């Protein structure tokens, strides 16, 4: 399932949603905060324009809400169910998780958002 051609591959690696060959982001590390959101205009391999329309990625904010909840639930399950922490500690762990993973959450939601509108095209992938 986790290989080129599946949406999951593009979402988790941040690669071009059409050819899965190039990273959409200028810097692959989301924790370089000044570059966390800087993306290439087009894919250098297949020429796909990432911003379909102006402020296209505003829609990713709705996705980031869902992704943020997924991270919060994960933090809750780990701290409350597995570590049996007190409710205050659980709350703190959720807040810390959301802050620490914010760059990842933002990128994941952009990847999910663009993958809703674009689909993998085998003919655009690099021919080896
Ligand atoms: Zn591409």
The pLDDT tens digits of the residues spanning 49-80 come to 999 999 999 999 999 999 999 999 999 999 99
Tens of pLDDT, residues 100-127? 999 999 999 999 999 999 999 989 887 6
pLDDT, tens digit, for every residue of 28-56? 999 999 998 999 999 999 999 999 999 99
Q: Which residues contact 39 (CB under 8 A, 6 or more apart)?
A: 24, 25, 26, 50, 110
Query: Can you spell out the DSSP letters for 40-107?
Result: -SB-TTT--BS-SSTTGGGGHHHHHHHHHHHHHHHHHIIIIIIS---HHHHHHHHHHHHHHTHHHHHH
Centre of ligand 1 to C-alpha 15, Å, is: 8
Q: Ligand 1 center to residue 74 CA distance, Å?
A: 32
Bridge partners of residue 25, in order along the sequence: 39
Q: Taking ligand 1, which is a single-atom ion, which protein residues have CB atoms under 5 Å away?
A: 16, 18-19, 43, 45-46, 48
Task: Tell me, in angstroms, the distance from the centre of ligand 1 to residue 101's CA.
Answer: 27
**Predicted TM-score (pTM) of this structure:** 0.91
């Amino acid at each position: 399932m986790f290989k080129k051609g599946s949406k999951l591959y593009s979402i988790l690696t941040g690669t071009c949603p059409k050819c899965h060959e190039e990273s959409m982001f200028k810097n692959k590390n989301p924790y370089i905060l000044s570059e966390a959101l800087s993306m290439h205009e087009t894919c250098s391999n297949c020429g796909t324009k990432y911003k379909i329309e102006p402020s296209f990625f505003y829609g990713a904010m709705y996705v980031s809400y869902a992704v943020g909840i997924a991270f919060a639930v994960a933090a809750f399950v780990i701290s409350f169910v597995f570590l049996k922490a007190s409710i205050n500690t659980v709350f703190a762990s959720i807040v810390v998780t959301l802050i620490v993973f914010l760059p990842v959450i933002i990128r994941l939601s952009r990847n999910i958002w663009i993958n809703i509108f674009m689909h993998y095209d085998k003919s655009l992938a690099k021919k080896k």
